[in-house]
């Protein structure tokens, strides 16, 4: 059904025995077996340990806590800082204080305190942008800046439970503001500055922030973009905002920034804001494990974005597990992920500070004009050990003919992470051939919903071409058919059958939990349905075939969209594509036909010969069921602000339906390409 490798083909990457034994994961498994002799042996198959971690959350998660050195308030007379590890572990449902699941009850901690444990002159943050500018923030400087910003928030009356929002580019001030909010127990929420005013209001308007931290502008692909007109509109429309703090970033002169700030009621400069906290020492409010830390948002493409509230303890523990065990990230290593402040990977990246790693930020276009290799140059210059990107970026790097292995010194690079969409098998070959031979390539998948991953990499396991390596420890992930029966080797619905610490503690303005239940628990009672169409492989890995709400059903055969993308986008002429199902009526009744839209290289026009090449490749490498009945050329393809192609919006347009929330799109003008397409009127 897909272009994953046969089970008898050799893996792409295999860690040696010495490498395996040196990993933090193997060391933890040894400690767990020593503590619990009935647990699997340290060298047992990974899935034995996965099952054990899911069957014994009361043993596994405390081991992660202790092994990671989580800082928390002592409970006099007790060995542990908690009363119980988990209550209501058999209840997979929205958390309820009485019924559960409730994690680490009695524990009190602070998220920022844990991210700022490492001190000294070593860099905590390295920041670059697409103009080549570079900034360094040491561990000590970050601690001092956060202390000043936290004191400034306290001076403005911000305390536990208040919301602080950021409308910011991916710059060090965003990290400082977030950690300052966490220090005082406030709840942080952020959007990137490419959001339109309505998109921001759809999000921040629901949560009513007390303080709004913004940038006066940002740069992207050689263009300076001013933010202050949108800031004025946003701040005027949200009555709860008492203070707007303006970070100068767009290259304005001090006079110009001051003039722009003066136009917004209640605004002050970042420097004036920090001055409120001059001389302040670090101070962290230790609060319950499930105290709200972040408010994250769904894409909003089907209506007003859902506001998911994530707790401080669950976020911290899950990220520590993923960074230390699944990525094997170490103190002093440098980790990069291409992201914006509007995507959960920003939150995930910043948590690497808790490991003592250096976080590498980048703001701007991934392939700025004239420098398509900008991110590979960053990886070489900054000696990045863990490089995070998207499947789309790797595919575009290949199409651009980039060969970093020949042009860049990537000696420090040991792991490449990819997420955002399924990573095609040919991209595995590209990375091994043209980026770095022997690098650990890990495709990972999770979501804003869990602010973490269901499936990810594993430094102790082989990498099989086209597959996500493993299910995450402590995450009871399975694949179900429509009747709720477990599937192996067959696509179905990706589900999670047991609670995990980073489940949202609530949805905002959802006191009865109706929105929460409808989002995940309305299909399989007592089971989290994630919305991915996936398959567990013979290697116990995972293949994501696409979103289950975008699967195609021609002639009653259910097909994942990723299976088509994997083939189409290997053709040199195709830059990107989107595939949807079009409802039709035939002599046999109602049916669905597959429609493929392609964006081609500049100067290339879709003709019958190219259409036939596309169909032949899909037929030969996927199946005859996957072959589109209609192939049409478009000038652009709509995507969400986090960069994900939105099949649902395209499907609505071709059926003449109103797209629910155009403001959730980064390029809403692209929708016009899908209206009145001549090919769709043909039988």
Query: Tens of pLDDT along 475-509?
Result: 999 999 999 999 999 999 999 999 999 999 999 99
Distance CA 395, CA 603 (A): 20
Please report the pLDDT score of residue 3 as a whole number. 39
Counted domains in the chain:
2
Considering only CA atoms, which of 419, 437, 313 is closest in space to residue 62?
A: 313
Contacts of range 648-657, beta carbons closer than 8 Å, 24 or more positions apart: 648/301, 648/302, 648/549, 648/550, 649/301, 650/578, 650/580, 650/597, 650/674, 651/550, 651/580, 651/581, 651/582, 654/580, 654/582, 654/595, 654/680, 655/582, 655/583
Of 100-114, 245-259, 599-613, give the lowest mean pLDDT range: 245-259
Domain of residue 573: give its range.
551-681
Contact in structure between 148 and 280 (CB atoms under 8 Å): yes
Chain-centroid distance of CA 658 in Å reads 28
Q: What is the pTM of this model?
A: 0.91
Which pLDDT score is estimated for 643?
79
Sequence-distant (≥ 6) Cβ neighbours of residue 218 within 8 angstroms: 169, 193, 224, 225, 227, 249, 250, 363
pLDDT of residue 157: 98
Mean pLDDT for the stretch of residues 594-611: 95
- Give the CA distances from residue 334 to residues 155, 222, 383, 411, 650, in Å, rounded to whole numbers and listed in that order: 35, 27, 7, 13, 39
Average pLDDT of 99-124?
Answer: 97
Q: What is the pLDDT of residues 131-166, one digit of tens each?
A: 989 999 999 999 999 999 999 999 999 999 999 999
* 495 inside domain: no
Beta partners for 544?
A: 534
* Span 356-375, average pLDDT: 96
For the record, the structure tokens of 96 come out as 């309820």
pLDDT digits (tens, 9 = 90+) for 241-260: 999 999 998 666 667 677 77
**Alpha-carbon gap, residue 574 to 600, rounded angstroms:** 5
Which of 271, 288, 305 lies at the terminal end of a domain, its last residue?
288
Mean per-residue pLDDT over the chain, rounded: 93
Of the residues 288, 320, 353, which one is the last residue of a structural domain?
288
Mean pLDDT of 506-520: 95
Report pLDDT for 5.
Answer: 39
Q: What is the mean pLDDT of residues 304-331?
A: 97
Residue 558 counted as domain residue: yes
Q: Which of 54, 53, 31 is nearest to 42 (CA)?
A: 31
Q: Which of 288, 303, 332 finishes a domain?
A: 288
Say whether pLDDT at 299 is over 90: no
* 214 is a domain residue: yes
Q: Is the pLDDT of residue 61 over 50?
A: yes
- Give the helix ranges, DSSP H, for 537-682: 561-568, 608-621, 647-654
Residue 220 parent element (H or E): strand 217-220
Q: For the domain that residue 144 is a member of, what is the CATH number?
A: 3.40.50.980
Residue 423 included in any domain: no
Which residue in 552, 548, 639, 648 sits closest to 302, CA to CA?
A: 648
- One-character DSSP codes across 81-95: S-SEEEESTT--SS-
pLDDT at 552 over 90: no
Q: How confident is the model at residue 301 (pLDDT cuts 50, 70, 90)?
A: low
Contacts of residue 343, defined as CB under 8 A and 6 or more positions apart, other chains included, come to 192, 448, 642, 643
272 domain-assigned? yes
Angle at 597 between CA 199 and CA 197, to 5 degrees: 10
For residue 466, give the 3-state DSSP assignment. Answer: coil
- How many H-runs (helices) and E-runs (strands) does the chain carry? 21, 31
Residue 579 lies in a domain: yes
Domain membership of residue 513 (yes or no) is no
pLDDT of residue 7: 45
H or E, element range at 426:
helix 425-430
Cα 268 from Cα 248, distance rounded (Å) = 11
In this predicted structure, which of 67-76, 283-292, 422-431 has the lowest mean pLDDT? Answer: 422-431
How many percent of the chain have pLDDT more than 70? 97
List the one residue out of 146, 182, 143 whose CA is nearest residue 164.
182
Mark out the alpha helices in 483-587 (DSSP H runs).
514-520, 561-568
546: left (phi over 0), alpha (psi -120 to 50) or beta: left
Q: Is the pLDDT of residue 549 over 90?
A: no
Q: Could you identify the residue written with the tokens 């970050």? A: 142
Residue 397 reports pLDDT greater than 90? yes
Confidence band of 588 (pLDDT split at 50, 70, 90): low
In this prediction, residues 418-422 reach a mean pLDDT of 89
- The pLDDT score that the predictor gives to residue 584 is 86
Q: How far is CA 355 from CA 177, 311, 351, 416, 463, in A?
A: 20, 19, 8, 18, 25
The answer to whether residue 18 sits within a structural domain is: no
Across 610-631, average pLDDT: 92
CATH number for the domain that contains residue 655 = 3.30.300.30
């Amino acid at each position: 059904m897909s272009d994953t490798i046969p089970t008898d083909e050799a893996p792409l990457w295999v860690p040696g025995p010495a490498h395996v034994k040196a990993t933090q994961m193997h060391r933890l498994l040894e400690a767990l077996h020593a503590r619990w002799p009935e647990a699997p042996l340290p060298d047992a198959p990974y899935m034995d340990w996965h099952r054990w971690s899911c069957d014994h959350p009361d043993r596994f998660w405390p081991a992660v806590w202790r092994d990671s050195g989580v800082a928390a308030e002592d409970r006099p007379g007790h060995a542990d800082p908690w009363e119980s590890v988990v209550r209501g572990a058999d209840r997979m449902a929205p958390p309820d204080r009485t019924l559960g699941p409730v994690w680490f009850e009695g524990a009190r901690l602070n998220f920022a305190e844990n991210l700022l444990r490492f001190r000294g002159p070593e860099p905590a943050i390295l920041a670059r942008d697409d103009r080549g500018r570079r900034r360094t923030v040491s561990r000590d400087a970050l601690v001092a800046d956060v202390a000043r910003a936290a004191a400034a928030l306290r001076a403005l009356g911000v305390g536990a439970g208040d919301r602080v929002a950021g409308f910011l580019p991916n710059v060090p001030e965003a990290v400082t503001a977030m950690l300052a909010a966490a220090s005082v127990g406030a709840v942080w929420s952020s959007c990137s500055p490419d959001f339109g005013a309505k998109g921001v209001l759809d999000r921040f308007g629901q949560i009513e922030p007390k303080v709004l931290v913004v940038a006066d502008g940002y740069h992207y692909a050689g263009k300076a973009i001013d933010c202050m007109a949108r800031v004025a509109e946003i701040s005027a429309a949200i009555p709860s905002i008492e203070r707007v703090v303006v970070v100068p970033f767009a290259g304005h002169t001090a006079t110009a920034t001051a003039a722009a700030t003066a136009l917004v009621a209640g605004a002050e400069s970042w420097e004036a804001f920090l001055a409120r906290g001059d001389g302040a020492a670090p101070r962290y409010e230790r609060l319950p494990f499930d105290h709200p830390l972040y408010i994250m948002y769904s894409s909003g493409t089907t209506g007003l974005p859902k506001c998911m509230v994530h707790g401080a303890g669950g976020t911290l523990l899950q990220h520590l597990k993923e960074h230390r065990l699944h990525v094997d990230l170490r103190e002093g290593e440098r980790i990069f992920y291409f992201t914006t402040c509007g995507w959960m990977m920003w939150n995930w990246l910043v948590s690497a500070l808790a490991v003592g790693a250096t976080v590498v930020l980048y703001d701007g276009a991934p392939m700025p004009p004239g420098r398509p290799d900008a991110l590979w140059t960053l990886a070489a210059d900054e000696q990045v050990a863990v490089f995070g990107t998207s499947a789309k970026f790797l595919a575009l790097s290949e199409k651009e003919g980039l060969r970093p292995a020949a042009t860049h010194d990537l000696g420090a690079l040991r792991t490449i992470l990819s997420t955002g969409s399924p990573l095609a098998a040919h991209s595995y070959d590209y990375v091994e051939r043209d980026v770095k031979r022997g690098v650990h390539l890990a495709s990972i998948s999770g979501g804003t919903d869990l602010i973490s991953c269901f499936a990810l990499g594993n430094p102790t396991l082989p990498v099989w071409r086209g597959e996500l390596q493993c299910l995450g420890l402590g995450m009871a992930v399975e694949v179900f058919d429509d009747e709720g029966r477990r599937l192996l080797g067959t696509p179905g619905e990706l589900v999670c059958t047991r609670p995990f610490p980073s489940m949202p503690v609530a949805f905002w303005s959802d006191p009865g939990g109706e929105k929460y239940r409808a989002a995940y628990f309305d299909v399989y009672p007592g089971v989290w349905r994630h919305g991915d169409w996936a398959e567990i492989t013979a290697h116990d890995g995972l293949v994501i075939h696409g979103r289950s709400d975008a699967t195609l059903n021609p002639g009653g055969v259910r097909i994942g969209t990723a299976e088509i993308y994997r083939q189409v986008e290997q053709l040199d002429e195709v830059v990107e594509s989107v595939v949807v199902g079009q409802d039709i009526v035939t002599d046999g009744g109602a049916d669905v036909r597959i429609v493929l839209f392609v964006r081609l290289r500049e100067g290339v026009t879709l003709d019958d010969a190219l259409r036939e090449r596309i169909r032949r490749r899909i037929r030969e490498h996927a199946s005859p069921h996957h072959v589109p009945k209609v192939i049409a050329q478009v000038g652009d393809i709509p995507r969400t602000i986090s960069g994900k192609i939105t099949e649902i919006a395209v499907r609505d347009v071709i059926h003449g339906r109103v797209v629910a929330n155009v403001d959730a799109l980064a390029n809403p003008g692209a929708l016009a390409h899908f209206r009145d397409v001549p090919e769709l009127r043909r039988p």
